[in-house]
A and B are shown apart, each in its own frame.
Chain A
Amino acid sequence: MRSQAMIRSMLSWMLAACFTVAAVAHHSTAEFDYTKQVTIKGTVKEVQWTNPHSYIQLIADGDGAQKVQWSVEIGSPSLNINMGWKKNSVKAGDVVSMTLSPARNGKPYGTLRVLTFADGKKLEGVAARVGAGPGPGGPPPGAAPAAPAPATKAP
């Protein structure tokens, strides 16, 4: 099992490299605005425990009587399991609130920071750890240098 420190270290280095790569290093996370946080409430329609990313589809309260379906990326199966999630941690029909970083395109889409159940129990999504700073152990060999290394400055 990978330690949480390792996850923190991995994520912080992803950010440091500017090319923030989603939890599973699958693709760039440029699509999400990590400087923003949005909280939505509603009923879970479906949990997709899938690669390359796992999702929760939430039917959320919108303006007035209109319900809005949100797609919320929560991580990936192996990563979420290592973060303490279980297959049935969240189920269709659960009423939850989710704090997320939204997509830049303004659509009802985001990456999960924290999911909170009605009884106050919480589950963290992978985005909760982003920006936490380098974890113990320092950078992994071969990872990007600590100083920002934007691609435009590639040698």
Chain B
Amino acid sequence: MRIMKTLKWLLCTAVLAASTSGAADSASAASGRDALFGIWMPDAAPRTLKTANGKAPPLNAAASKLYAERRQRLARGDASFDPTSWCAGPGMPRMLTMPYPFEIRADASRVVFIHDWYRWFRTVDLGAGDVEPPLPLTMGFPVGHWEGNTLVIRTNGLIDTTVMDASGLPHSEELVLTERLRVLPDGRLEDRITINDPENYTQPWDTVLTFHRDAAARVTDDVCPDRLARGEPAERPAPQRANASRQQAAPAPMAKPVSASRLAGIWEPKTFGIMVPNAPLSGAGQEIVARNAAAMQSGKIMQTAWVSCRPGAVSTMTMPREKIVIMETADEVTLLFEMPRMVRRVRMNASHPAKVGSDYVGDSVGHWEGSTLVVDTLGFNGYAELDARGQPTSAKLHTIERFTPSADGNSIDIETVVEDPEYYTQPFTIKRSWKKSAARHPFEYDCMENPRQEDFENAYYVREQYRPVCMRVEGEGMAPSRMVCRRPED
């Protein structure tokens, strides 16, 4: 009897759902797309990509030889064909094979993937037509469009110094990736990727990656060179399936669009500031700056947090370079900086937690005062320098930024009040301006890409942990260069 009741209830529910879904087909498309947004965790994070049918990719003869050589190197423990091993950009689709979460956010103009691994992001332009790549990049030049609830992304301009997976599957710069992302009926995200690279493969082939919701997953401010400095791997091993956190039905943090976006778009600095003049340094601050100056005047290269590829958010306030992407949703203003590469998340109309953590980006909360966005940030780790002189900051650093767009919407003036009683006698203000960019994508700053030995031969390290673990050593004569990594415990 009880079973019959249950069946009747299920039947009624199904009939009701069917009758309403037909009428609301077009209206539900948007919410269907919303299902793509939020944080995703790889199901398998495969070390070796297979075709959608589980077969080996159709490598041609030359690529097979190269791939076999890499497999042999890997068997000997040499993964230096993979830039990820020294914290350089993993490339695509390698990034999606790493056991790290990522978050998808979107507005009307672009979809953004914010990856947990070392502050990488990729911005998918939703405008029409491919972008002509001026130079191949790690993340390439992805252009997307919606087909119903499926996001289709076509990416060209992918740099060939990256590999497609951890096993060293090669690709050329002719590679074109076509991704089709959709949420499966079971709630997982599927990315079906068509790989078209005639230089390496006898025919285009598909691979499928899937991802799940995980309530415990967070996109954090991961700083890969710090992990290397601690003796940890550049890429953590994939969690065992049994141990993996797989809390289902985690609510996706929806990116609700705002009705009138005031800051969204791509910007670039109007001018470049590399100095913060007249900062009211305290005695302790003066001492550090004088020490830095003496080192530089003796001809040493100063290795600051910025130079050693772990800049703090304060560097985006004092020395922003190149493109800046802003996305604006009801709950968050997202600032994606090309150089220094960093993603800053400003939680709107929120408060700092009672116990603020400590990291390079700090904890940012924002609110609007008329047409000005006010961003309050604290919780810094004190590892960032303000400028090229290495003016210090401490964990007591507190910043208040005021972003005011111009009336015509073509520029933004930013006034930042810096307060840090450890090194400055009073708060002071820094002014910067950004202008609207015509670019469809930011370029890319892969700071760890080429750590040349020469840069470290005569270096002055502001902090000992900034010493590099990996550096490129040039070969003699026609011998190629090689990456040499020395674990801290060696």
Contacts and interface: CB of A to CB of B under 8 A. Distances in A.
Contact of A52 (B277, B296, B447): B447
A103 B454 contact: yes
Contacts, number: 159
Interface stretch (B116-124, B239-247, B248-256, B430-438): B430-438
A145 B319 contact: no
A14 B319 CA distance: 13
Interface in B200-232: none
Nearest to B303: A27
Interface in A33-71: 45-46, 48-53, 55, 57, 59, 67, 69, 71
B321 A24 contact: yes
Given A55-B452, A77-B135, A27 B307 contact: yes
B452 A155 contact: no
A142 B452 contact: no
Interface string B305-321: 01100000000001101
A57 B477 CA distance: 10
Given A52-B447, A71-B474, A154-B290, A30 B307 contact: no
Contacts of A109: 454
Contact of A152 (B272, B275, B290, B478): B290
Given A24-B321, A25-B319, A69 B474 contact: yes
A31 B452 CA distance: 13
Nearest to B439: A1
Nearest to B474: A71
A27 B275 contact: no
A150 interface: yes
B430 A30 contact: no
B274 A143 contact: yes
B176 interface: no
B461 to A, nearest CB: 12
Interface string B133-155: 01110000000000000000000
A133 B318 CA distance: 23
Interface residues of B, number: 61
A152 B457 contact: no
B336 to A, nearest CB: 16
Given A53-B452, A81-B134, A144 B275 contact: yes
A154 B275 CA distance: 12
A105 B457 contact: yes
B300 A30 contact: yes
A69 B431 contact: no
Given A27-B301, A151-B293, A142 B275 contact: yes
Contact of B449 (A25, A51, A143): A51
Contacts of A95: none
B35 interface: no
Nearest to B134: A81
A10 interface: yes
Contacts of A10: 272
Interface stretch (B21-29, B62-70, B279-287): B279-287
Q: Which of B272, B273, B301 has the most CB of A within 10 A?
A: B272
Contacts of A140: 270-273
A14 to B, nearest CB: 7
A141 B432 contact: yes
B318 A142 contact: yes
Nearest to B478: A45
B78 interface: no
A98 to B, nearest CB: 16
A86 B134 CA distance: 7
Nearest to B457: A105
B389 interface: yes
Contacts of B303: 27
Contacts of B346: none
B322 interface: yes
Interface string B259-301: 0000000001011111111111100001001101110110111
Contacts of B322: 78
Contact of B455 (A13, A27, A78, A155): A27
Contacts of B290: 151-152, 154
B277 A48 contact: no
A87 B135 contact: yes
Nearest to A54: B450
B296 to A, nearest CB: 5
B308 to A, nearest CB: 9
Interface in B415-462: 430-433, 443-447, 449-450, 452, 454-455, 457-458
Interface in B318-339: 318-319, 321-322, 339
Interface of A: 2, 6, 9-10, 13-14, 17, 19, 21, 24-28, 30-31, 45-46, 48-53, 55, 57, 59, 67, 69, 71, 77-78, 81, 86-87, 103-105, 107, 109, 137, 139-145, 149-152, 154-155
The 3 closest A-B pairs by CB, nearest first: A151-B293, A140-B271, A142-B273
12 contacts: A13-B272, A25-B272, A46-B481, A71-B454, A87-B136, A141-B271, A141-B431, A142-B271, A149-B275, A151-B296, A154-B289, A155-B286
Given A6-B271, A30-B300, 19 more contacts: A13-B272, A14-B388, A19-B388, A21-B388, A27-B301, A27-B303, A30-B296, A31-B454, A51-B449, A77-B135, A86-B134, A142-B273, A142-B276, A143-B271, A143-B273, A144-B277, A149-B277, A151-B289, A154-B391
